[in-house]
Amino acid sequence: MKKLYFLCLSMLITSLSFGQEAVITSYVDSSCPSQAGRTVEIYVDGTIDFTGWNLVRQSNGNGFTGIIDISSLGTISDAFAYITNSSATIDSEFGITTNVIENSSVNGNGDDAWQLTDAGDTIIDRFGVENEDATGLDWEHLDSYVYRVDGVAANGGAFVVTDFTYGALNILDNEGLCNSASALSNIVPFGSYSTTANTNPTVSITSPNNNQALDSGTTSVDIEFTVANAPGATVNITVTTNAGSPVTTNGVTSPFTISPTADGDTYTVSLDLIDGGVLDTDSIDFSIAYPCDLQVGTITETCDAITPATTDTYNVTIEYTGGGTSTYIVDTGGNGTVGGDDPTSVAAGTITITGITEGTDFTVTFMGDAGNSSCDFSRSINSPNCDPQLTLPITETFSYADGSLLGNSEWTNHSGNDGDLQVISGQALVQHGTPSEDINLPFTSVSGELFFAFDMTVPDVGVPIGDGGSDFEYFAHFKDDGFGFVAQLDIVAPSGAGDYTVGISSDQNTADATWATDLTYGSSYRVTVRYNQDTNIAELWVDAATESDTSIIGADEADPGDTVASFAFRQSDSSENEGILVDNLVIAQTFAETVLSTNDFETTNFSLYPNPTNTGIVNISSSNSDEMNIQIFDMLGKQVKNATISNNSIDVSNLNTGIYLVKITQNNASTTKKLVIR
């Protein structure tokens, strides 16, 4: 909505030529869910081959350590490029599909910094101050964006705050198609940078944004604006409230305050830059939102039944307050049946959604009457796992064909690309770096203490852990039924001349305590971790034979801890992007149950056959002939058979057609397998 009026004067336009140069032109700290909208924009002036180039993030003022390889951009000439957390999001929000790299490490907050380095690790350009957290400083961009001033060349690391313009803090809150609002392209000026400095006289409103809806309860609004290339010029402002009569004030300075304002008001603001005539104008529309009184509380998803059938359903209850203040619509997108209390007429209560097909995740949207409510928000509903789960103790030997671990036993993906976590020669490979899959083995929750233990080997990466930086990542942990992680096991830098060591955290992303003895690449160690769900404390042993052996203890976090529902492996980026080979996993409730040597596992490698069966007999093979205790459970968890056998077969002719869990115990080793009877 800007119009330029040019004076009839001859003006000298200075153009700056940068040769072959790349500059950081923008960063967007979008509030799209799951960091999806966060994006760095760069511009290439000339032609550059990006092989070996990196975009490097500084997090919370802790130095530039977060390296993102941008070699895949290839060769770019006179064009913009984008490194984004989600390519689908910038396509949706900006229509950008060319010169795009997707990388989950583009997740910087509004206090973080970025720099570009070339193939020789030379700093080409930087946004932000090294070793400085931007919180409260003039380059902070929390839930906002920054954009480079036209004509400003690459700085070689010498960042100047005024070389960028900054959106108002939190200006992107609830904005974007991702939040059911207008596209981010209406706010963020991607693709507008020019290598030529602008010498035209301009006036620009920087806050509020055009078409922005300010929060309910806002009683005054500052109109902030900038003037460039117009010494001696003045600014006149015209404000129109609720489509009424315009009111003009001459000779104003930034900020100009509009007061009082009220919920539901709409405003049109225009600025004229004056010097003997109108040099430039800018205008915006904004409004003050009505309140959103409806507040959603606890959401609970509950299975109708715990069976292996794919036709099970589940129900949802949603607690709320603030009802009876507008006409509210609860939209489930056709999933289930909405019932319970009606927020249109009932002030506080519980909304129910019943009869949802198991495995269906969906979004429920709450909308008020636009004439008196700004409510238009959504909540994600995630299907619970209504299948029967494994019971402790669990033994996992990874005796599967090489390939994805997913699909074997009950292993389930909870993040990243399906199939990335691999089984190699009877071991699970947890690989930091390119693979992104995080995977978990769910089981029936128990109270008190839990243990996991496994044999681990770290193959040689050529240098000790830590030589490439200080980015250490946990790779194994317990997990609740959401995304609460506890008892995190880390690979960390050695304290002496070794290759690496391990650390434990009770409830944090970095180790609280580190094993004092260095470990060696290529050697196998058995690690054992205890987590107390009541005290929220984790403990770690290495090659321990008894519980009284030397251990290290994580921090004493707030009580109680998480209710553990699964064991998980995690793959991420780390300084050395090392791999960890894992074998002979045991998840149990006592230390003694986890102390099994490699030989114990090799001698208790069980299998069931035929499976499925319709013969009335199931054979159970083992590599020794000792007695086995067999417990069979139906899908409701009821034990239907318990027998001790020595002839490697069990009669199941009295069991109905269906799916069962068979727990096999021999010589203190146990495993649970699924049996299908036809």
Render pLDDT for 235-265 as a digit per residue (tens, 0 to 9). 999 999 999 999 999 999 999 999 999 999 9
pLDDT in tens, 281-336: 999 999 999 999 999 999 999 888 766 666 788 999 999 999 999 999 999 999 99
* pLDDT given for residue 264 in this prediction: 92
Confidence band for 16, pLDDT divided at 50, 70 and 90: very low
pLDDT tens digits for range 601-650: 444 466 777 877 888 888 887 767 778 888 887 766 678 888 888 888 88
**Among residues 580, 624, 581, 628, which one has the least CA distance to residue 600?**
624
Place of tokens 């801890």: 561
| Residue type, position 493, single letter | A
- What is the pLDDT at residue 310? 63
DSSP 8-state code for residue 559: S
Binned at pLDDT 50, 70 and 90, residue 19 comes out as low
- Looking at residue 307, its pLDDT comes to 65
Asked whether residue 458 carries a pLDDT value surpassing 70, the answer given is: yes
pLDDT bracket for residue 189 (50, 70, 90) = very high
Q: Which residue has the higher pLDDT, 386 or 482?
A: 482
Q: What's the pLDDT band for 2 if we cut at 50, 70, 90?
A: very low
Residues 433-452, mean pLDDT to the nearest whole number:
93
Q: Which two tokens stand for residue 592?
A: 């003694």
pLDDT of residue 615: 85
User: Phi, psi (5° rounding) for residue 161?
Assistant: -55, -40
Question: Contact at 8 Å (CB) between 94 and 36?
Answer: no
pLDDT one-digit tens code per residue, 386-412: 776 788 999 888 888 888 998 787 798
Mean pLDDT of the residues in the chain: 89
Give the full edge-to-edge strand order of the sheet including 313-321: 295-303, 313-321, 349-357, 337-340
| CA 457 vs CA 154, 545, 583, 587: distances in Å | 45, 19, 9, 19
Residue 47 is predicted with a pLDDT of 96
Going 465 to 468 to 471 to 475, the CA torsion angle's sign is negative
pLDDT average, residue stretch 445-471:
89
Task: Name which of 65-79, 459-473, 529-543 the model is least confident about.
Answer: 459-473
- Length in residues, the chain: 678
Residues 6+ apart with CB under 8 A from 369: 326, 327, 328
Say how far apart CA 272 and CA 250 lie, in whole Å.
9
Which whole number is the average pLDDT over 210-228?
91
Mean local confidence (pLDDT), 135-157:
93
CB 669 within 8 A of CB 648: no
Query: With the CA atoms of 212, 216, 217 and 223 taken in that order, what torsion angle do they form, in degrees rounded to the nearest 10?
Result: 0
Predicted pLDDT of residue 636 = 63
Q: List residues bridging with 402 in a β-sheet.
A: none
Q: Please classify residue 483 by burial: count the beta carbons closer than 10 Å to its beta carbon, then call 0-12 exposed, 13-18 middle and 19+ buried.
A: exposed
| Overall pTM > 0.75 | no
Side-chain half-sphere exposure of 245, counting CA atoms within 13 A: 1
Q: Please give the pLDDT value at position 11.
A: 35
Structure tokens that stand for 644 in this block = 């001790």
Q: Domains of the chain (ranges plus CATH)?
A: 17-195 (2.60.40.1260), 295-381 (2.60.40), 394-600 (2.60.120.200), 605-677 (2.60.40.3080)
DSSP lists the bridge partners of residue 670 as 665
For 79-116, the pLDDT digits (tens) are: 999 999 999 999 999 999 999 999 989 998 899 999 99
